[in-house]
């Protein structure tokens, strides 16, 4: 019964925020496109140096063991840094553009990495990019869109409440929902970090041998 109620709530929220979901998704797609273009216009000299570096990386990666705990810490730090930036952007309506910018930057990084690897290593680069980035980004990208929309809506609601009187109860409810959303998003970020640190290296290692 609770699952059905949760599903109904999510569908209602999606229906009410259709325009916001479209805007946030467009920023993500725009970031992907700009990142792809930025990688494709790199000069041959820059690509040559990067190819040599990446080849050495793949050789070392295929032969040496990965410090999974260190990878987990780095992934967790990066994910929570992005989450904190999004959360801070929701404190004021005037900071909302920074939340959208953060979503766009996430798309830019992903688009640049995929295009860069595919340009350097062709189908092998595409294969490596998919295997190394797809597992965690299947969670990260939807979470960024959902939490980005929530942040924008919350900032708008807080702005509206400033114009009203006797809204302590509404503010309390809004801050409580913000805490719950941040908690759920944090758990999902931890799951993504675990995938990136302990699962991805296992499936990436055989691919690295192909890249040498």
pLDDT tens string 120-161: 888 888 888 888 888 888 888 888 888 888 888 888 877 777
Q: Between 66 and 112, where is the model more confident?
A: 112
Q: What are 116's two structure tokens?
A: 């860069």
Q: What are 38's two structure tokens?
A: 């930025």
Q: Are 20 and 153 in contact (CB under 8 A)?
A: yes
Mean pLDDT of the 32-55 span: 77
pLDDT at 2: 47
Residue 17 has pLDDT above 60, yes or no: yes
Q: How far is 138 from 192, CA to CA, in rounded Å? A: 9
pLDDT at 58: 63
Q: Calculate what percentage of the chain has a pLDDT beyond 70.
A: 77
pLDDT at 34: 94
pLDDT at 211: 66
Q: How many residues does the chain have?
A: 212
Residues in contact with 157: Cβ distance below 8 Å, sequence separation at least 6, in sequence order = 174
- Taking phi over 0 as left and psi of -120 to 50 as alpha, with beta for the rest, 34 belongs to alpha
Buried b (16+ CB within 10 A) or exposed e, 194-211: bbbbeebbeebeebbeeb
pLDDT digits (tens, 9 = 90+) for 175-198: 788 888 888 889 999 999 898 888
Q: Between 93 and 108, where is the model more confident?
A: 108
pLDDT digits (tens, 9 = 90+) for 45-81: 666 666 666 666 666 565 566 678 888 888 889 888 8
Q: Are 142 and 64 in contact (CB under 8 A)?
A: no
pLDDT at 27: 92
pLDDT at 61: 60
Residues in contact with 53: Cβ distance below 8 Å, sequence separation at least 6, in sequence order = none
pLDDT at 26: 92
Q: How far is 115 from 193, CA to CA, in rounded Å? A: 23
CA neighbor of 147 nearest in space, from 20, 3, 6, 19: 20
pTM: 0.77
Q: Between 141 and 42, where is the model more confident?
A: 141
Mean pLDDT score of the chain = 79
User: What is the greatest pairwise CA distance in the chain?
Assistant: 66
């Amino acid at each position: 019964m609770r699952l059905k109620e949760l599903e109904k709530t999510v569908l209602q929220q999606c229906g009410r925020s259709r325009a916001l979901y479209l805007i946030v998704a467009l920023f993500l797609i725009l970031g992907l496109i700009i990142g792809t273009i930025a990688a494709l216009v790199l000069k041959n000299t820059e690509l040559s140096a990067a190819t040599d570096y990446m080849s050495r990386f793949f050789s070392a990666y295929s032969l040496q063991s990965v410090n999974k705990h260190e990878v987990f810490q780095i992934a967790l730090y990066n994910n929570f840094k992005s989450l904190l930036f999004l959360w801070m952007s929701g404190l004021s309506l005037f900071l909302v553009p920074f939340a959208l910018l953060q979503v766009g930057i996430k798309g830019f990084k992903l688009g640049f990495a995929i295009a860069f690897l595919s340009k350097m290593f062709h189908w092998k680069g595409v294969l490596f990019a998919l295997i190394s980035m797809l597992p965690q980004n299947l969670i990260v990208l939807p979470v960024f869109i959902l939490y980005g929309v929530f942040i924008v809506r919350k900032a708008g609601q807080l702005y509206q409440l400033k114009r009203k009187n006797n809204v302590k109860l509404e503010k309390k409810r809004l801050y409580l929902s913000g805490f719950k959303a941040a908690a759920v998003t944090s758990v999902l970020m931890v799951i993504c970090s675990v995938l990136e640190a302990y699962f991805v290296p296992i499936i990436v290692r055989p691919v690295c041998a192909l890249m040498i």
